[in-house]
Every structure is written in C-alpha cells, then in structure tokens.
Amino acid sequence: MIVPHGHLSFFKYITASTGMAILENSSFRWSNPDLFNKYNDKFDVPRVIAEGISSSDLEKARVKRITELLSEPLPEDVSHFNDPTKLLIELRRRIPTALVPEFLAQIPNLDHGADSAQPIAEVNILWKKLRRDLRILCLSVSPNLDSMWLHYAENHAGMVIEVSCLPIFDSVWLAAREVIYTDEPRALTTAEGWADVILHDTNKAISRMFDDYILKKSRSWASEEEYRVITYKNSDNGEQHSDMHFHPFHFSAIYLGAEMEAADRNEVAKLARARYPWVKVIQAKLGNTRIQFDPA
C-alpha cells in the first residue's frame, strides 16, 4: 500500500454535536480560510500576497537572482523555469568564459517586458479568487494531543474521529499535506522570494505560493501536529464551508472525550453500532500525566 505521507490514518477533533452530524451524514465540513481567521489563527492563509514589497525592491532582487542563476554553476535542470529564463540560461551556456563578466554586467539593462510590480498585482487577483473558493480540512496525526482536546473538542467533552488512508477507495486523505511550523518569514513576503518565484513557470509558481501561504504557520501552533487536505468549493451555496461526503469505510475509530456527557456518549455509541459496526469506539480517560484510552 502506497501512502505518500507515511500515515495510515488521521484524526479529527470535534465537538460532540459536530461529531454526531458527521456520523449521521458521512461527511466532513471543509472550511474557507476566512473561518480560520475569524475563530482561530488571524494570520492563517493571508488574504494579500507580497504586501509591502515595492517595485524597486523587487526589481533589484530580480536582477540579483538572475545574476546568481547565470553564474557558475549553471542549473542543470531548467524544466521548472519560465521560457525567458530558460533562454537566458541557454544563452549563458554558449558564451565564452572570457565574455561572461561583460554578459552578467548587462543583466540590469535587460528589458524584462513588464513593470516589476505587475506579476504581483496579477497574482493577487488570481489569489483573491482562489482563496475565496478554497476549502480546507484540518487533521492531526494523533488522538492524544491535550491541546487539541482542549481547543477543538470542548475540553475533553467532545470526541475524535479516526479516518484511515485507504488507496482502494481512492482516499482523499492520501493527498493530505503536512503543515510546516516556523517563525521565519514566509519566503513570498520578501522581494527575494518573489524574485525567485517569478522566474519559474506558472505551475511551479502556484505550487510555491500554495506551500508558502497555505501550509506554513507560526511555531506557536506546532502542538496541533496538523495536516491539511486542500480542495475547492463544490457548490455556490453562499457559505464559507462545504460539506463533502466520503465512503463510510474510511471511519476506523471514535474516541469519546473523558468529560463527555453520558447522553452524548450513548448517542454516539448508538450511531456507531447502527451505521458503522466495524468502527472501534474507544473511551478516553484522564490519567495522572496523560490521556489514556480504553474500549468503550
């Protein structure tokens, strides 16, 4: 079984009421980043790209980056660069060594074909539309994360649903991407980062943009051990979320919070027995120093 990210399952921390709705409908609610900003991390998936980068700073950074690319050693693989950059690199290969300094000295005088700020302006128009249509499902790698129980599962009164990565059912969780926690500035918030991106082809540039703006968070959130599944809205319902169904066999376990109300516990167990008899129902307990799990 090929699992790209190496995880056989993921875990969704939720309230008891949300968990029962998921079990009733075999669907998860995928959120637009605006909901993250409203209820959680104000800086998650920024609304504006390259804010505060001036045209002159970007031009200086672009000249510097092109000069670096055309200096030794030249890149062997040029497939991910855009056509003008490829042409410059190929031209540089053919220039006699004695003429290289003169060639590099002409880089600042090259006609780049557009104002330096134009690529950022165009990308921001595209990003605004993409971001509006984005739908993200946030998952964790363990059911034993105390901060997650506290923040997302009603301080242990909620629950955790485990979903398995099943290639036989073309599991969407196979596409989950790891969130990178760092306090370093996002590369694309700097002129140097953008100077590098705009030399690449469109697919590579968009991939870099997604990695930088969707999959990076401050280290203060690292305890969430988060992976994200990214898609786009499936209807124009005017909402900032989309409910998406999945095969019931993706459910593999339900973890009941240590402080879950008895009525909620009974209702969840009843739903599991009726709709998902193969699913393990596990009761969480608060041990002396950690969360423990017993069969319910």
Would you give per-residue pLDDT tens digits along the chain (296 residues)?
Answer: 567 888 999 999 999 999 999 999 999 999 999 999 888 889 899 888 877 888 888 889 989 999 999 998 999 999 999 998 999 999 999 999 899 999 999 888 876 555 556 667 777 888 888 899 999 999 999 999 999 999 999 999 999 999 999 877 778 899 999 999 999 888 888 889 888 888 888 888 888 888 899 999 999 999 999 999 999 988 777 788 999 998 899 999 999 999 999 999 999 999 999 999 999 999 999 988 889 988 76
Quote the pTM value. 0.86
Other C-beta atoms lying within 10 Å of the C-beta of residue 99: 9
Domains of the chain, by residue range, sit at 9-45+134-183+218-295, 55-116+185-215
